Structure 1
Amino acid sequence: MNPLAYYELQAAHSLFGKAAGALEAGEARKVRAVAERYAEIEAAVLGSAEARGVCLQPEAIDDAFEEIRARYEDPAAFDDALDDAGLRHGDLRTALGRSLLVEAVMARVGARVPPVGETEAEIFYYTHLERFRSPETRTARHILITINDTLADNRREAAERRIGEIARRLAARPARFGEQAMKHSECPTALNGGLLGDMPRGQLYPELEAVLFALREGEVSAPVESELGFHVLLCERIHAERTLPWAEVAESLRTRLTEERSRRETRLWLQGLMATATVS
Structure 2
Amino acid sequence: MMNGEVTTSYITSELAYLVLRDAFNRYQKSPTELSTNQLAELEAQARTRYELETQVLASPEANEVVVADSQVESALAEIQSYYSDEGAFQQDLRNNGINSDSLQQCLYRELRVESVLDKIGAQATTQLNEVDAKIYYYMHLEQFYQSETRTVRHILMTTQADSADKTRRAVRTRLKHIAARLHHKPSRFAAQAEKYSECVTAAEGGLIGRVPRGQLYLTLDEVLFTLEANQISKPVESPLGFHLLLCETIHPPGIMDFEEAQPRILEILAKRYRRLRQKNWLSQFQTRPTSSEELIASLMDSK
CA distance in 1, matches of 2:266, 2:239: 44
CA distance in 2, matches of 1:174, 1:164: 14
CA distance in 2, matches of 1:105, 1:172: 59
Sort the Cα spacing of 1:15 and 1:141 in 2 relative to 1 into closer, same or farther, 3 A: farther
CA distance in 1, matches of 2:143, 2:50: 40
In structure 2, what is the equivalent of residue 19 of structure 1?
none
CA distance in 2, matches of 1:250, 1:88: 46
In structure 1, what is the equivalent of residue 142 of structure 2?
130
CA distance in 2, matches of 1:102, 1:184: 49
- The answer to whether the Cα contact below 8 Å between 1:182 and 1:190 also exists between their aligned partners in 2 is yes
In structure 2, what is the equivalent of residue 55 of structure 1?
61
Unaligned runs of 5+ in 1: 17-25, 73-80, 275-280
The equivalent position to 1:182 in structure 2, one of 169, 188, 194, is 194
The equivalent position to 2:173 in structure 1, one of 158, 161, 164, is 161
In structure 2, what is the equivalent of residue 272 of structure 1?
289
Sort the Cα spacing of 1:88 and 1:212 in 2 relative to 1 into closer, same or farther, 3 A: closer
CA distance in 2, matches of 1:44, 1:106: 19
In structure 2, what is the equivalent of residue 41 of structure 1?
48
The equivalent position to 1:67 in structure 2, one of 68, 71, 74, is 71
Deviation at 1:257, TM superposition (A): 5.3
User: Does residue 244 of structure 1 match 2:256?
Assistant: yes
- The answer to whether the Cα contact below 8 Å between 1:225 and 1:231 also exists between their aligned partners in 2 is yes
Q: Deviations over 1:163-195 (max 9, x none)?
A: 211211221432332232233323332333222
Sort the Cα spacing of 1:202 and 1:46 in 2 relative to 1 into closer, same or farther, 3 A: closer
CA distance in 2, matches of 1:176, 1:117: 41
Q: Deviations over 1:108-150 (max 9, x none)?
A: 69x99x9999999766644542221233322211112334322
- The answer to whether the Cα contact below 8 Å between 1:42 and 1:102 also exists between their aligned partners in 2 is no
In structure 1, what is the equivalent of residue 4 of structure 2?
none
CA distance in 1, matches of 2:190, 2:275: 47
Following superposition of structure 1 onto structure 2, how do residues 96-115 of structure 1 map, counting pairs within 5 Å? Answer: 96=108, 100-101=112-113, 104=116
Amino acid of the structure 1 residue aligned with 2:61:
C
Sort the Cα spacing of 1:27 and 1:54 in 2 relative to 1 into closer, same or farther, 3 A: same
CA distance in 1, matches of 2:175, 2:169: 10
Q: Structure 1 vs Structure 2: percent identity of aligned residues?
A: 30
In structure 1, what is the equivalent of residue 296 of structure 2?
none
In the superposition, the TM-score normalised over structure 1's length comes to: 0.62
Deviation at 1:242, TM superposition (A): 3.8
Q: Deviations over 1:229-273 (max 9, x none)?
A: 32211122333434234566467547635745875995x976636
CA distance in 1, matches of 2:180, 2:22: 54
Sort the Cα spacing of 1:272 and 1:51 in 2 relative to 1 into closer, same or farther, 3 A: farther
CA distance in 2, matches of 1:188, 1:220: 20
Residues paired across the two proteins, number: 254
CA distance in 2, matches of 1:212, 1:257: 35
Deviation at 1:2, TM superposition (A): 3.1
The equivalent position to 2:230 in structure 1, one of 218, 228, 236, is 218
In the superposition, the TM-score normalised over structure 2's length comes to: 0.58
CA distance in 1, matches of 2:23, 2:160: 41
The equivalent position to 2:241 in structure 1, one of 229, 244, 255, is 229
User: Does residue 206 of structure 1 match 2:218?
Assistant: yes
CA distance in 1, matches of 2:209, 2:117: 43
Sort the Cα spacing of 1:223 and 1:47 in 2 relative to 1 into closer, same or farther, 3 A: closer
Q: C-alpha root-mean-square deviation of aligned residues, in Å?
A: 4.9
Amino acid of the structure 1 residue aligned with 2:246:
L
Amino acid of the structure 2 residue aligned with 1:231:
H
